[in-house]
Chains A and B, each alone.
Chain A
Amino acid sequence: SQKIEQNSEALNIQEGKTATLTCNYTNYSPAYLQWYRQDPGRGPVFLLLIRENEKEKRKERLKVTFDTTLKQSLFHITASQPADSATYLCAPPDGQNFVFGPGTRLSVLP
């Protein structure tokens, strides 16, 4: 069955450093993948979409890569700030819907 894994439940980094979150998927080959941010008690917010023919996508301090050979997407936040603390979810498509990964809880320490 299709499976999505995201690195460690929680990631703590120091303010100003680059946070790198991973999303690994098995048993299927999505043509694109989305990333979301979720704050406690709120719904996820769409951040970025990357297609299989785009090796890298950037938006301000965010960068996403998509390696279809490794079946992996990496999500980077550069110059991280305490306000970046949240849970980040990857979401590949499943038919016309999306499947959300378990998420990685990022804490940026001042």
Chain B
Amino acid sequence: EADIYQTPRYLVIGTGKKITLECSQTMGHDKMYWYQQDPGMELHLIHYSYGVNSTEKGDLSSESTVSRIRTEHFPLTLESARPSHTSQYLCASRRGQGYSGYTFGSGTRLTVV
């Protein structure tokens, strides 16, 4: 059973609003990630963190920002939502060492109208 939680599961919001997508994990994993995925399309890495106070941008340019103040918490924020931000956002984590795989959350389906 995955121990990584994303809220909300679904979100419909108006253009220009500020939103924060929550991601928490209870496994003590050092590494956490945010991916963006459109229906039927590939996963794109937008942000990652290797530990507290460490954040990096991923391969896909994104207008979102992230923070990592606590090991278990990795929220993603959009200061001003636009229709182009409509997508599914997936959070993942993994152990810092070794060949461990990712554990993914169930995702947040964001629709900006």
Contact = CB atoms under 8 A, between A and B. Distances in A.
Nearest to B6: A43
Given A41-B88, A41-B109, A98 B102 contact: yes
B33 A44 contact: no
Contacts, number: 41
A42 B45 CA distance: 16
Contacts of B91: 43
A42 B106 contact: yes
Interface in A17-44: 32, 34, 36, 41-44
Interface of A: 32, 34, 36, 41-46, 49, 51, 89, 96-98, 100-103
Interface residues of B, number: 21
Given A97-B33, A103-B42, A46 B101 contact: yes
Chain B interface SS verdict (over half): strand
A34 B43 CA distance: 15
A42 B104 CA distance: 9
B104 A44 contact: yes
B103 A46 contact: yes
B48 to A, nearest CB: 6
Contact of A36 (B88, B101, B106, B109): B101
Interface string B81-113: 000000010111000000101111111010000
Nearest to A98: B102
B101 A43 contact: no
Contacts of B33: 97
A41 B43 CA distance: 12
A34 B48 contact: no
Contact of B107 (A43, A46, A51, A103): A43
Interface string B40-81: 001101001010000000000000000000000000000000
